[in-house]
Amino acid sequence: MLKRLWLIFAQAVTVALAVLFVVATLKPQWLAQTRWREAAAVPTARPAELPPLPSPAASALRAGFAPAARVAVPAVVSITARKAPARSAGRARDPLPFGFPFGPRAPRGAPQLGLGSGVIIAADGVLLTNNHVVEGASDIEVQLTDGRQAQATLVGTDPETDIAVLKIALPDLPTIPLGDAASLQVGDAVLAIGNPFNVGQTVTSGIVSALGRSQLGINTFENFIQTDAAINPGNSGGALVDGDGRLVGINTAIFSRSGGSLGIGFAIPVDVARQVAAAILKDGAVARGWIGVQTRELTPELAEALKLGDARGVLVGSVFNDSPAGRAGVKPGDLLTRIGDHAVATPAALLAAVAALQPGSLVALSVQRGGKALDLRLTVAQRPPPQRLAEQE
């Protein structure tokens, strides 16, 4: 019995193999379809799942300046100032390699369309910009980041610090928090915000490269924050903010031989801008002290020639006619060593000390004339506008 079953099984296997051989030879596609159907019937392996999108909490932890930008950007505006046709090819106070990142100049004889930036510092519409952005403008238009536009009123300007105060009348205005420029340190991260080349609101980042930059020949009163954050034409009057989005400076000038950013930009410290704005809002102008002298640096050669020995101070080069210093007896060649409570050793220090004096106040001067020390007293006058000072020189 078993032998018979085995014989039947062997014959069946032989026949099956013969049939498979014939099919594989004559109709191989039948076998391919069969394998495909069998493969389709077998469950496939589950594909790897993609990682989930980051949650808001996780994305908030990423490094960057987005939080500071969100605080400051809404309060930075674009300014379009329409001016009368230019009489000359360029501005007289734009000496290369220092320039004002203002905007493209119109051809000679054509009306100028100046592009700049500004910063809203009060909810009632007070904003700061540069004097050179709006100087001589007949029409000033301000555009906010939310698309709203308004005509601005020029409240006042201070050309000697290059600050101008504007005002707009719009509801629900965003404002920027004011920072402390005095607490800045070299290496601190800062953002420059403005409308360069009229491409739209732009944020660039950098660090504080230097503090207290002066004697650059840009403004009369200089105490600039230097930064390598990119500042380009159209950035004038825009915001320099710290890592918390607080205003620490008003962008005003760049070092450039091409007109574009080379990584050396300058901003007016916010404390200076705020003091100027407060004076303009209160009195319409900034009142500074003036004694009527032109000074020069005391060099060892000049000290020896004038027999001043090791004395330190500021050399008087000339005295204006009918000025407080002239009436008090100050003469060219005198060495000013002290004014009021301030010892002075450089022309910049003397200029700042005199400007801080209240016009009409009485102040004492310490002067060295040759080997003789003199104490003089004078009544401080109000500093004339730059145009009048230039006419007197």
Ranges of CATH 2.40.10.120 domains, the chain: 66-283
User: Which of 78, 117, 209, 236 is the catalytic position?
Assistant: 236
Dist CA 139 CA 154 (whole Å): 9
Closest CA to 223 of 264, 176, 182, 180: 182
Spatial contact of 259 and 192, defined as CB atoms under 8 Å apart: no
Residue 341 has a CB neighbour count (10 Å cut-off) of: 8
Phi, psi of 113 (to 5 degrees): -120, 95
Catalytic site includes residue 139: no
* Residue whose tokens read 């990584």: 263
CATH code, 66-283? 2.40.10.120
Is 227 buried (19+), middle (13-18) or exposed (0-12) by CB count in 10 A?
A: buried
CATH architecture of structural domain 289-392: Roll (2.30)
Catalytic site includes residue 342: no
Q: What is the pLDDT of residue 27?
A: 64
Dist CA 198 CA 224 (whole Å): 25
Ranges of CATH 2.30.42.10 domains, the chain: 289-392
Catalytic site includes residue 236: yes
Q: What is the pLDDT of residue 23?
A: 63
Q: What is the pLDDT of residue 200?
A: 86
Pairing verdict, β 239-241 and 289-290: unpaired
CA distances from 54 to 48, 61, 96, 279 (A): 18, 11, 50, 50
User: Which of 162, 228, 242, 334 is the catalytic position?
Assistant: 162
Indicate the residue type of 341: D
Indicate the residue type of 222: E
Write out the E strands in 270-371: 289-290, 293-296, 314-319, 335-339, 342-343, 362-369
Spatial contact of 111 and 130, defined as CB atoms under 8 Å apart: no
What residues have CB less than 8 Å from 142, skipping those under 6 apart? 77, 78, 79, 118, 127, 149, 150, 151, 152, 166, 168
CA geometry: angle 385, 251, 196, nearest 5 deg: 120
Dist CA 355 CA 332 (whole Å): 20
Average pLDDT by stretches of 10, the chain with 393 residues: 70 72 65 50 56 54 80 95 63 44 51 83 95 92 94 94 95 95 93 90 93 84 91 90 95 75 87 94 91 86 74 87 91 89 87 90 89 89 76 56
- Residue 197 region, left (φ>0) first, then alpha (ψ -120 to 50), else beta? left
